[in-house]
Chain A
Amino acid sequence: MGRKHTVIIGNGIAGITTARHLRKHSDQRITVISAEAPYFFSRTALMYVYLGHMKFEHIKPYEDWFWEKNDIELLHDYITDIDTQEKILKREKGESIAYDQLVLATGSQTKYYDWPGQDLKGVQGLVTYQDLQNLEAFTPKPGEKNHRVQKAVIVGGGLIGIELAEMLMYRNIEVTMLVRENHFWGNILTENESNLIMAHARAHGLKFQTQADLKTINGDDQGNVESVTLADGDTLPCQLVGITTGVKPNTGTIKGTDIEMNNGIMVNEYLETNIPDVYAAGDCVELRNPSSSRRAIEPVWYTGRMMGEVLGRTLSGKRSAYKPGPWFNSAKFFDIEYQTYGVVNAAPDVEQVHWFWKKEGENKFVTVAYHPDTLEFQGINGFGVRLLHAYFDRALTMKMKVSEVIGHMSQANFDTEFYGKWPREFKLAFTRDTGIAIEKKSRFNQLFSR
């Protein structure tokens, strides 16, 4: 008997974090298989390669020697079939592999809504390395003139959408973004926030078409995109259509196996599937029983990483449950950084009040959410300001009152030095607007003394 063999399909953040943590806890044989790229790279950084901030080699978080040194085998291949009875994986290029434990970390893929014409040349999302390569091949080089791709339409207003818009505009492509709601990322951002982001994006040259529903994508004789038609009959000429209406679990290889799936691969809180010794982590996962403030499918970097941390431990024999804390996320809209902690709904309701604050003349604004009766702090969206994760994580876990959280705001500030003393103005405005007196309690000072 050799060492126990754990095989991980997918070398994204979930698969790689699993491998690294498993290695730290045990000396099992570990193999990571990916068809996408030979080495782990930061998916969220693909845009920076296209923008010329970095080369592809820079978005690899570990040098290539790292894997051999840590005894993690990497295979650049595609798994065509999973036999969970015999515990054997069939590969496209190499010989089949036997496993003792299997981890599915296959990530997600662009979600299409069966639009007529969605298979035309020039229709694509931005999720994989291949998407980036396709985009690079299809669009003009920086500064290139008279390229056939002059106009693009982006379907879906969200994080990937606005990143794709920034990318294409750098290549001098005129971009129109179709937004189904009244405003950008309307199911997440509040109206105030969204309008400010849209104004900022417009200042950068992005065009929005709100309440716009894509009906068909139209092609020319060669099968290239020529235009899109909207539900209201409007036709927009374009040579590229970016699909950024969201992602769905990438489960192509799993279909046809006895592994249970719904929208994603079904797992319990230990990230175990219905089949013994088969686990799943990251974007491809659908939790059977998500905690109240979290969703069953969370296709974000951080969730993949945290699941990997836990799963690495479980695979080593120390069975551990995945228990996410308060929700957090971040993004960047052109020049405006965005961080969120806790739950800030797109619109206030009977369970949630919003207080919005904006620094005069600057792109710095914040929405604070709290319960109207108990005044319990529920969450915060920060734009153009940097907020300390540890501060809000504790405030949310300890169910602090909004008055206390605001009262100690200066300790939550993570802005670079000399950035200005906005938290003071912020505190005064809070009391002025809401009538709630801020509180300072010593327990905060102890907790967050920085």
Chain B
Amino acid sequence: MKQKHLKVLGATLAVIAVLVFAGLTFYGNSDLTQSSLEQTVDAKHQPLIDRLQALPEAPPAEMAGRVDEEIDTYNSGIIAQQGISDDYLEKVLSKLNGDPSTYNEAFVADYFSADPDIQKRVTESTSWMYGREWESFDEFREQFHQKTDEINRSIVEDNGIGDQRREQFRQEVMENGAPGWLKDGLWAWLIFGTATLGGLLFMIPGVKKHPGIKNDGIYHGKMQNRKWPAIILFAFLIGFYIVLYEFPQYFVNQIVLLEPLSQKMAGVASGRWFMYGFLYTLVMSIFGAKMMIKYRGNAYQQVRTVSVVFFQVVFAFTLPQILTLLQKPSYDIKSIWPLEYSFFFDYRVDQMLEAGTFGLYLLFWGIALALIAVPVLTYIFGKRWYCSWVCGCGGLAETAGDPFRHLSDKSLGAWKIERWMVHSVLVFAVLMTAATVYTTITGESQVLGINSYDVRSTYGFFIGFIFAGAVGTGFYPVMGNRVWCRFGCPLAAYIGLVQRFKSRFRITTNGGQCISCGNCSTYCEMGIDVRWYAQRGQNIVRASCVGCGICAAVCPRGVLKLENRDEKGRVNDNPILIGREGVSLNL
């Protein structure tokens, strides 16, 4: 009973840590009165700074809204002072006496010359309207309103806090106002230390069990069986990603927790992606330890776990910070296009080209990984060299996602959807990149009538945020741990094509020993019906197989083995089951 208490204690500590962490959005008052906004904000915005500093302290959840209101008020003030008000516009329009064709340069000079800046903007925006015939005066008025709105917006862009700057500005203000006591590291140690301790306590009882497969009761619990705790976790994860991507102002307190670490590692202020990277790495490390305990007795699982955690800690998290510290272009250099879909974006290519030899090296490295390393290593080792040994998405799936692996859909229907979907994303990624590169080289933003920046941002929103982030991780508790890898990852699709058609990797079956029990299929995170092949003695050669090796681990009769060997005989569509004389068909 003592061990059970330890588990409960561990789980409780971990849940408390997570709740305190999430609760910082509603606690830990943001205080702008003591802020040093003057240092980061342009002096011309002093009136706004004054107003922000006059705000009473409040938790981030409230403060973010107030900062937004202040920015709105400030922008409205700028329009009122420097822009074209609706009243004035109506007055001016009435001077046309209902005949829009009389609108011309002289008219502009008559009514908009008070402010030369306004006169210039109005001329630029409306000169095409001079002397034109209109269906009706209302049509003209509508057009004119639209144009003056644009003028007002551009004034705000130039002189106020425009839409393009707004998010970053708000984030700077909010992080500046976050309470100082969150920034000194103590709370980071408390929260993340408690979470880690809780996780470790939770898994200690596992050490006392005999090495072997630990799947007892997986379908008898609630968390791993789509019952209410799973639904809560699902909602929590989805919520986390929505806030992270769309409303980062609510995460300022969480972000500044890591201020000391970010300063030490990268020499810059902590940001939301630093926080996300830290959480990701911490979660993977804790659950990696759990994997090491759970799969004692299976060296393949242990080596593989060490590998993914190593690549996450060193390549995905630490190295980019060091590169930032050295003021070099920084990114996770083991992340490969098209998973790393922004690799060929103009600003990133520019950044690399401007960074001299090192930048060129990075550019070469990224291209070589995608075009040389992927086919060569996949030929030698199969898809697993990346997907279950190196990749960060795969790494999280294989550690934190491991308890949910059985939730993947094994039906033939799901396989059909998977093939259409994942290859469509690959095509989308290739076209998007082609359009982006075209724009980078020619400077032409229109490609075949479509704006390449729109294609880019559409991809970023739907694939980068919704699919890879929110669905990819959030759906662990309901659809298994490899939803993204299976249905969405363009790199997995690309590597999968290589694995399917030109690789030494396959899962072999052991003669006639299969008893069709179904453990292999049930625990396949990629939804492969492994049993279908095993019971007919056929090698498993599937594009989606990430080579996690769990099918071989859970097989109670020693039937499955992951192998890299000579290509000869790899695809055996007409296999023979050993055990009796005479040849027979296998269905």
Residues on A facing B (Cβ under 8 Å): 13, 20-21, 23-25, 42, 44-45, 48, 51-55, 58-61, 63, 141-143, 170, 203-204, 301-302, 305-306, 309-310, 313, 320-325, 328, 330-332, 334-335, 337, 339, 386-390, 393, 414-420, 450
- What would 28 A/B residue contacts be, using CB atoms closer than 8 Å? A42-B515, A44-B517, A52-B216, A52-B219, A53-B215, A53-B218, A53-B519, A55-B219, A59-B518, A63-B412, A204-B210, A302-B512, A302-B513, A325-B580, A325-B581, A328-B579, A330-B557, A332-B557, A334-B210, A335-B210, A335-B212, A335-B213, A337-B557, A389-B510, A389-B512, A416-B298, A416-B561, A418-B299
Given contacts A337-B556, A418-B300, contact A388 B511 (CB under 8 A): yes
- B587 on interface, CB distance cutoff 8 Å: yes
- Selected contact of A416 from candidates B511, B553, B582, CB within 8 Å: B553
- B56 on interface, CB distance cutoff 8 Å: no
B210 with A58: CB separation less than 8 A: no
A417 with B512: CB separation less than 8 A: no
Closest to B531 in A: A61
A310 with B219: CB separation less than 8 A: no
Closest to B557 in A: A330
Residues on B facing A (Cβ under 8 Å): 210-213, 215-221, 297-300, 303, 411-412, 510-513, 515-519, 521-522, 531-532, 535, 549, 552-554, 556-558, 561-562, 565, 577-582, 584-585, 587
A414 with B510: CB separation less than 8 A: yes
- Selected contact of B517 from candidates A42, A320, A323, A324, CB within 8 Å: A42
Complex-state Cα separation, A32 to B519, whole angstroms: 26
Given contacts A54-B522, A203-B210, A450-B565, 7 further A-B contacts (CB under 8 A): A45-B517, A54-B219, A63-B411, A324-B579, A393-B511, A414-B561, A420-B299
Complex-state Cα separation, A310 to B584, whole angstroms: 8
Given contacts A54-B519, A417-B562, contact A328 B220 (CB under 8 A): no
* Cβ-closest 4 pairs across A and B: A389-B511, A335-B212, A45-B517, A386-B558
Given contacts A24-B585, A393-B511, contact A414 B215 (CB under 8 A): no
- Distance (Å) between the CB of B12 and the closest chain A CB? 18
Complex-state Cα separation, A334 to B211, whole angstroms: 10
Residues of chain B within 8 A of A416, CB atoms compared:
298-300, 549, 552-553, 561-562
Given contacts A310-B582, A420-B299, contact A330 B513 (CB under 8 A): yes
Complex-state Cα separation, A25 to B582, whole angstroms: 15
Complex-state Cα separation, A204 to B211, whole angstroms: 11
Given contacts A44-B515, A45-B517, A52-B220, contact A419 B299 (CB under 8 A): yes
Complex-state Cα separation, A416 to B552, whole angstroms: 7
A325 with B517: CB separation less than 8 A: no
Main secondary structure of the interface of B (DSSP, over half): loop
Residues of chain B within 8 A of A52, CB atoms compared:
215-221
A301 with B515: CB separation less than 8 A: yes
B212 with A339: CB separation less than 8 A: no
The CB with the most chain B CB atoms within 10 A, among A204, A305, A306, A416, is that of: A416
Complex-state Cα separation, A39 to B487, whole angstroms: 30
A393 with B578: CB separation less than 8 A: yes
Given contacts A13-B516, A203-B210, A390-B511, contact A53 B582 (CB under 8 A): no
- Distance (Å) between the CB of A79 and the closest chain B CB? 25
The CB with the most chain B CB atoms within 10 A, among A53, A324, A389, A450, is that of: A53
- Distance (Å) between the CB of A399 and the closest chain B CB? 15
Complex-state Cα separation, A450 to B504, whole angstroms: 12
B220 with A45: CB separation less than 8 A: no
Given contacts A42-B518, A328-B512, contact A170 B216 (CB under 8 A): yes
Closest to A313 in B: B584
- Distance (Å) between the CB of A271 and the closest chain B CB? 12
- Distance (Å) between the CB of B383 and the closest chain A CB? 15
Given contacts A52-B215, A323-B582, A390-B578, contact A20 B587 (CB under 8 A): yes
B299 with A386: CB separation less than 8 A: no
Given contacts A320-B582, A325-B580, contact A53 B522 (CB under 8 A): yes
Residues of chain B within 8 A of A55, CB atoms compared:
219
Residues of chain B within 8 A of A389, CB atoms compared:
510-513, 578-579
Complex-state Cα separation, A55 to B217, whole angstroms: 10
- Distance (Å) between the CB of A167 and the closest chain B CB? 10
Given contacts A61-B535, A386-B510, contact A53 B219 (CB under 8 A): yes
Complex-state Cα separation, A20 to B219, whole angstroms: 31
Residues of chain A within 8 A of B215, CB atoms compared:
51-53
A142 with B549: CB separation less than 8 A: no
Residues of chain B within 8 A of A51, CB atoms compared:
215-217
- Distance (Å) between the CB of A194 and the closest chain B CB? 19
Complex-state Cα separation, A23 to B212, whole angstroms: 40
Complex-state Cα separation, A279 to B66, whole angstroms: 84
Complex-state Cα separation, A44 to B518, whole angstroms: 10
Complex-state Cα separation, A328 to B557, whole angstroms: 12
Closest to A45 in B: B517
Closest to A389 in B: B511
A54 with B217: CB separation less than 8 A: no
Residues of chain B within 8 A of A63, CB atoms compared:
411-412
B303 with A418: CB separation less than 8 A: yes
Complex-state Cα separation, A415 to B587, whole angstroms: 27
- Selected contact of B579 from candidates A25, A325, A387, CB within 8 Å: A325
Residues of chain A within 8 A of B554, CB atoms compared:
53
Complex-state Cα separation, A32 to B211, whole angstroms: 42
